[in-house]
Amino acid sequence: MFPDSWKLADVTPVFKNDDPSLVNNYRPISLLSLLSKTLERCVHNHCLAHISPQLYRMQHGFLKGRSTVTQLLAVYQDTIEGLAEDDLPGYIKNKSKVALFADDSKLYKTISKLSDSEALQEDLSCLSDWCKDWNMDFNTSKCKALNISKKKSPTVRNYQLNNESLVTVKEITDLGISINDKLLCSSHIAQISKRANRTLGHVKRLCSHQGFDVNWGFALFLSPVVTVKLITNSINSNSNTS
């Protein structure tokens, strides 16, 4: 049995976006007991080998060697290649692709003509039907449509999910990275650069006052920020040359 005391957690609400006065715009982060996490890890190690073969190939959440970065790069590669590969869950009918990170999902498809957009809408309806069959539901208010194209007049339409129209945006934050309708991360890079420069100033002052090695400060504070920037810079470079 799992002791009740091990189920207790310190919950910290972390703001996500939009209106900070709304509770729904905060993500609860739970700090659990080390003993409960140790037991969960033991169960995880015993179950993983059995469960892994059943997981969808494009599920990147909480799996060894996979992360938000691997999912973003996989979707980016599919977008560049025009979705040439057909590897879909059984409930999708029209060769759209589904990418997952835990319970975050995205459905995407190359739109060359009007019938392609109609096929994508049909697959959105299939997702709705699948959710109903499993007594689940998408949070439609958080779902957005992004048309990625370099054409002056791309094929666009109003998509619906659960009989509600999806808001079409020019830029979206996907797993922490902002991507626009040209498949560029310009605004995200600008934001990261500003943050990195601000952090660099703090590191220099800290190392100067405390006598620490600047390389130590860089590795501790700046390296994670710069790594994200390098990834988004790579996406930008490839998008500009594709």
Q: What is the DSSP string of 113-125?
A: SHHHHHHHHHHHH
Whether the CB-CB separation of 217 and 207 falls below 8 Å is answered with yes
Lowest mean pLDDT among 36-40, 50-54, 233-237: 233-237
Measuring CA to CA, which residue among 159, 122, 156 is closest to residue 143? 159
DSSP one-letter code for 23: G
pLDDT top residue among 238 and 93:
93
pLDDT at 86: 39
Evaluate if residue 217 carries a pLDDT over 90.
no
Which segment, 5-9, 149-153, 193-197, is predicted with the most confidence on average?
5-9
Whether the CB-CB separation of 44 and 148 falls below 8 Å is answered with no
Which neighbouring-strand residues pair with 168?
145
Evaluate if residue 118 carries a pLDDT over 60.
yes
pLDDT top residue among 51 and 225:
51
Measuring CA to CA, which residue among 228, 181, 242 is closest to residue 72? 228
Q: What is the tens place of the pLDDT at every residue in 58-94?
A: 788 878 888 877 887 777 776 655 543 434 455 677 6
Evaluate if residue 156 carries a pLDDT over 90.
no
Mean pLDDT over each residue of the chain, to the nearest integer: 78
Average pLDDT over residues 177-205: 80
List phi, psi (to 5°) of 195.
-65, -40
pLDDT at 235: 52
**Cβ partners under 8 Å of residue 14, min gap 6:** 26, 27, 28, 29
Whether the CB-CB separation of 174 and 140 falls below 8 Å is answered with no
Average pLDDT over residues 120-132: 86
Evaluate if residue 228 carries a pLDDT over 70.
no
Buried b (16+ CB within 10 A) or exposed e, 227-238: ebbebbeebbee
Evaluate if residue 232 carries a pLDDT over 90.
no
Evaluate if residue 202 carries a pLDDT over 70.
yes
